[in-house]
Amino acid sequence: MKYYVPFRTLRSDIPSITLHKNSENFDTDDTGVTSNEIFFEEAYKRSANNFTNPPDLMIFDDAIFAKDLVKNFVELNDKTVLFQPATFIDNQGKYHEEYWIIKPTIYTSVIDLNDSKYELLSELDPKNLLVNTYDFEKIKIIGDLDPTFIPLIFIDPYLIELIIKGTFFNFIKDEQLKGFSFLELSKFEIHKMFEKNEDIINL
């Protein structure tokens, strides 16, 4: 089983999103708790992008922002995920209401620390990996891992990044969904998310 780190593709026509003022008090930790619809907009309003068809996939905080098709697939394959109805408001003020916040709730890792190469930049609490900082040069996936016990979407506590299983990646690829680029977890280095390189997978 392969694992992937999704991130906003570097293409200029894929928006970076932010909460709209109607939802400025929303915290993604509240996903699934409230019944309020959440509103998003492009973070850089001056870009003059007019999204007649906004991308299928966007990312916000540690959650995926996606259309119904994706929500239905995740809901069928991962019972640990939380959902919240959401709307994207484009630069022309048009409401695109077919979106959902898809929020992973599981913090787990498939990284084999013994065989990976990394530097522990800070260790504030050995019992709480989320507050420590790891800089990985080489990532090794645990060899005898049973993927059936790994959720479809989870947050890796060493990387503080959202991770998806190969089955979800293949669904996105097969459906030709746009908005994300990917790094295979075994090739992940954080700087690769922000510059063109041969390890980025653009679908």
pLDDT digits (tens, 9 = 90+) for 138-152: 999 998 888 889 999
Report how far apart the first and last C-alpha atoms of the chain are (Å, whole number): 19
Does some domain include residue 193?
yes
Does some domain include residue 99?
yes
Q: Which residues lie closer than 8 Å to 162 by C-beta, 6 or more apart? A: 5, 6, 59, 62, 63, 64, 104, 153, 154, 155
pLDDT of 115 = 93
Looking at 121-125, 136-140, 186-190, which range is the least confident one? 121-125
Q: What is the 3-state secondary structure (H, E, C) of 45-112?
A: HHHCCCCCCCCCEEEECCEEEEEHHHHHHHHHHCCCCEEEEEEEECCCCCEEEEEEEEECCCECCCEC
Which residue in 76, 56, 40 sits closest to 153, CA to CA? 76
- Structural domain for 52, as ranges: 3-108+143-202
Per-residue exposure over 115-128, b if at least 16 CB sit within 10 Å of its own CB, e if not: ebeeeeeeeeeeee
Q: What is the mean pLDDT of residues 70-91?
A: 94
Does some domain include residue 46?
yes
Say how many residues make up the chain.
203
C-alpha triplet 12, 7, 109: angle, nearest 5°: 175
CA 55, 57, 63, 68: dihedral to nearest 10 degrees? 100
Mean pLDDT across the chain: 90
Burial classification of residue 174, based on how many CB atoms lie within 10 Å of its CB (0-12 exposed, 13-18 middle, 19 or more buried): exposed
What's the domain count of the chain? Answer: 1
Does some domain include residue 131?
no
Does some domain include residue 117?
no
Region of residue 176 (phi > 0: left; psi between -120 and 50: alpha; otherwise: beta) = left
Q: For residues 55 and 42, is the Cβ–Cβ distance under 8 A?
A: no
**Per-residue confidence band for 119, with pLDDT thresholds at 50, 70 and 90:** confident
pLDDT exceeds cutoff 80 at 11:
yes
Does some domain include residue 134?
no
Q: Report the percentage of the chain scoring pLDDT > 70.
A: 97
Does some domain include residue 165?
yes
Does some domain include residue 167?
yes
pLDDT exceeds cutoff 70 at 62:
yes
